[in-house]
Amino acid sequence: MRKSLQMACGTFSALFVLSAAYEVFACTPPPPPPPWMTAAQIEAEWNQRILDSQIGDWSSAATVFIARVESKGTVALGRGSRGRRAVLAPVLQIKGPDVERRIRVQHTGFLCGANPALDALDENADGYFMVYAFDEKPSASSVFATTALDRLIDPNALEAWRSAYDRRRGQ
C-alpha cells in the first residue's frame, strides 16, 4: 500500500512538473530575427505564416461560414481571470452543409492569454468573420478558428467566398 502511494505521488509530481514545463514552453516568446534579415523579409515571413495557418484552417474544416458578431460579453475563467464570449450569427455558407443556428463561442481557459484565440473574441471585434469548425454541425466546441474578413488572405477561402456570394445573388 505504501509503495503504491509513493508511486502515485511520484507520478503526480512528474505530471505536475511536465504540466508546468509545458506552460512555460508554450508561453515562451519567439526569438528575435537575425540582424541580417531586412524588415521586408521579416514581414514576408510573418505573412507566409499567416497564409499557412489560414490554408491549414481551410483544409481542416468540415464547415466554413461567414458570421456576424451579434452580441458580446465576458465570462469568468477562474483564478480571477476574465475572458470574452460572442454569439455568431451565420450569414453566408462557404463550405459544408448550411449552418442555420447561432453559435456562442467563448474563452474556456487561460494559457499565454485567453483561449481559444479567436478573432471574434478580440475585445475590439465587430462585424463579420470567417468561421471554421471541425464538425458539419458546428458547436462552440468544434469552432477552432475565426478570421476577421479584412485579414483573410487564403486564396482558397477567398475564391470559395466569391463563389458562395455569387450563388447567393443568383449568378
pTM above 0.85, yes or no: no
How far is Cα 59 from Cα 61, in angstroms, rounded to an integer? 6
Q: Is 88 part of any domain?
A: yes
pLDDT tens per residue across span 49-87: 999 999 999 999 999 999 999 988 888 887 778 888 899
Q: Is 1 part of any domain?
A: no
Q: Is 139 part of any domain?
A: yes
Q: Is 10 part of any domain?
A: no
pLDDT of residue 3: 53
Three-class SS of residue 169?
Answer: helix
Length of the chain: 171
Q: Is 77 part of any domain?
A: yes
Q: Is 9 part of any domain?
A: no
Number of domains in the chain: 1
Contacts 24+ apart (CB under 8 A), 108-113: 108/77, 108/83, 109/77, 110/77, 110/78, 110/79, 110/81, 110/83, 111/23, 111/26, 111/27, 112/26, 112/27
Q: Is 163 part of any domain?
A: yes
pLDDT tens per residue across span 99-158: 989 999 988 887 777 777 788 888 887 799 999 999 999 998 999 999 999 999 999 999
Structural domain harbouring 75:
62-169
pLDDT tens per residue across span 25-55: 567 887 888 999 999 999 999 999 999 999 9
Q: Is 114 part of any domain?
A: yes
